[in-house]
Amino acid sequence: MVTETERILQQKQPLLAEAEAAMRQEPVSMPEPEPEVEGWVACEACNQWRKVTVAYQERVEQEDIEFVCNMLPGLDCSMVSEFGVAE
């Protein structure tokens, strides 16, 4: 014979387990938002994409600058871009 208290406990336990599981699934911290200051330019010489600021990318586009890798400090065409080659 199951007492009323035991019956209530048996009903509650799965709900508690669910609540605990839901709490564990809460992200500990929000993912970092994507920075909106990134731009891309392709080198005129080697066609590799180089990561620059949006301001730099806009300047290259608006002023029709022939961008080459060595215009960026510490960069030249012999360095392989992790971002691939422009079509």
Residues that bind Zn ion (CB under 5 A): 43, 45-46, 69, 77
CA distance 81 to 41: 12
Which residue's CB is nearer to Zn ion, number 19 or number 83?
83
- Rounded to a whole number of angstroms, the minimum distance from the CB of residue 63 to Zn ion is 18
**Alpha helices for the chain (secondary structure H):** 4-25, 54-62
- Report, in Å, the least distance between residue 58 CB and Zn ion: 20
Indicate the residue among 59 and 71 with the shorter CB distance to Zn ion. 71
- Count of alpha carbons within 13 angstroms of residue 56, beta-carbon side: 16
